[in-house]
Amino acid sequence: MNLTFKGEGDDLFQNRLFSYLQEQLNVHIKEISQIRKQVYKVKGEGLEFILKGFSSYHQFVLQKDVLTSLKQVGFQKTYSFYPLEKNPPLLFEQTYYGCLEWIETSKNEFTFFKRHDRLKGLKLLAHFHDVNKKLVEQYMGKITSFNQLGKWQERTVSFLNNLPVIRYFVQKEIIDEILAWADWSLKGVEKELGVFENGEKVILHGDVAHHNFLRAKNKDIYLIDFDLISIGTPRSDYLQYANRILPFIHWSFQDLTNYKEIAAYLYEKGFIYALAFPTDIFREWNRAIRAQTYLQPSKIQPLLEMTIGQFHQRYNFINELKRFLSL
């Protein structure tokens, strides 16, 4: 046995988990290493796989069913669940675990820094939507409906509650401007809410960050991590994707029009209003304060770059959006 773990952790817990897996799996474990909280890479006899924890049995079963359905209707660029358990499901210390296919990754990692990767990611996301729309009726009621406005209103309230801490790091004028962007955006989205509620529905991925796109050893791009799936219109995923790539295209509205999957929605007022919402700033500050990592230099520096370093580019971007709507 070679038992290794990355990062900090409870050695006693980790050894108990290892012993539990040896008893419950149909494969002899040779090595286990922690990737992040409740996610492990396991090397067994002749097989490598990911062991991933789920907060509830419902979440475990839902993701397993959705991944199986996706493969059946033609979306192959993701992992599968492995039936390795002797007595499924695996339940250890109030967490359900699933065994997922390990995808051998390329040394050339997927990144939003590269235009080629940004285009590849969008193409894969479009394929994901195009295939999974066949499953919407089947999973209606099992997967929650996405509430774009409600999510952002909650995120705004959390950010406002965290202002006493944020004000120690960010000057008042910048905070006031960011809040003004949020107010303008939310009012516009509420007025144009129909674009997010009406039209053809798909299963949304919900977390189109760069780390959820993997370049495999065979160079194919795979989509992973379906913890935040919901049902809604495709524009919500594309909106999040746009927000993720905008820092890498210097907050240029003109450059954004070169991504056809996103450009298809740039004629909609609701989508334009939504592009102005500072969702990344709110999300990351709320997360840092919740986890109490804002006093760590390695954590606060990216936050300050996002909030202050990119402020003028984003300021010009918001004004460009306003001019576009006034045409």
> Domains in the chain, start-ordered, CATH in brackets?
2-101 (3.30.200.20), 115-326 (3.90.1200.10)
What pLDDT, on a 0 to 100 scale, did the predictor assign at position 129?
98
Percent of the chain with pLDDT over 70: 97
Helices 57-73 & 115-132, crossing angle to 10 degrees? 90
Compute CA 296 distance to the chain's CA centroid, rounded to the nearest angstrom: 23
Q: How many residues does the chain have?
A: 327
**Token pair 């929605």 is at which residue?**
265
What pLDDT, on a 0 to 100 scale, did the predictor assign at position 9?
54
Phi-psi region of 74 (alpha: psi -120 to 50; beta: other; left: phi over 0): left
Q: What angle do CA 245, 224, 151 make, to 5 degrees?
A: 60
What pLDDT, on a 0 to 100 scale, did the predictor assign at position 10?
64
Position 199: which residue type? G
What pLDDT, on a 0 to 100 scale, did the predictor assign at position 8?
47
What pLDDT, on a 0 to 100 scale, did the predictor assign at position 7?
43
- Selection from 322, 327, 311, 313 nearest residue 188 by Cα: 322
What pLDDT, on a 0 to 100 scale, did the predictor assign at position 176?
98
With a CB cutoff of 8 Å and minimum separation 6, the contacts of 185 are: 152, 273, 274, 275, 276, 277, 278
Average pLDDT over residues 17-25: 92
Confidence of residue 115 (pLDDT cuts 50, 70, 90): very high
- Is 80 exceeded by the pLDDT of residue 88? yes
What pLDDT, on a 0 to 100 scale, did the predictor assign at position 307?
98
Q: Which two tokens stand for residue 150?
A: 């409600």
In the DSSP assignment, the letter for residue 65 is H
Average pLDDT over residues 7-15: 67
Q: Which residue has the higher pLDDT, 42 or 6?
A: 42
Distance CA 189, CA 187 (A): 6
What pLDDT, on a 0 to 100 scale, did the predictor assign at position 6?
46
Tens-digit pLDDT profile for residues 211-268 = 999 999 999 999 999 999 999 999 999 999 999 999 999 999 999 999 999 999 999 9
**Token pair 């210097």 is at which residue?**
250
Q: Which residue has the higher pLDDT, 15 or 159?
A: 159
Confidence of residue 11 (pLDDT cuts 50, 70, 90): confident
- Is 90 exceeded by the pLDDT of residue 81? yes
- Is 50 exceeded by the pLDDT of residue 326? yes
What pLDDT, on a 0 to 100 scale, did the predictor assign at position 252?
97
Averaged pLDDT of the chain: 94
In the DSSP assignment, the letter for residue 219 is S
Average pLDDT over residues 188-210: 96
Average pLDDT over residues 322-327: 92
Distance CA 29, CA 61 (A): 24
5-9, 20-24, 216-220, 258-262: lowest mean pLDDT where? Answer: 5-9
What pLDDT, on a 0 to 100 scale, did the predictor assign at position 265?
96
What pLDDT, on a 0 to 100 scale, did the predictor assign at position 12?
80
Tell whether pTM > 0.85.
yes
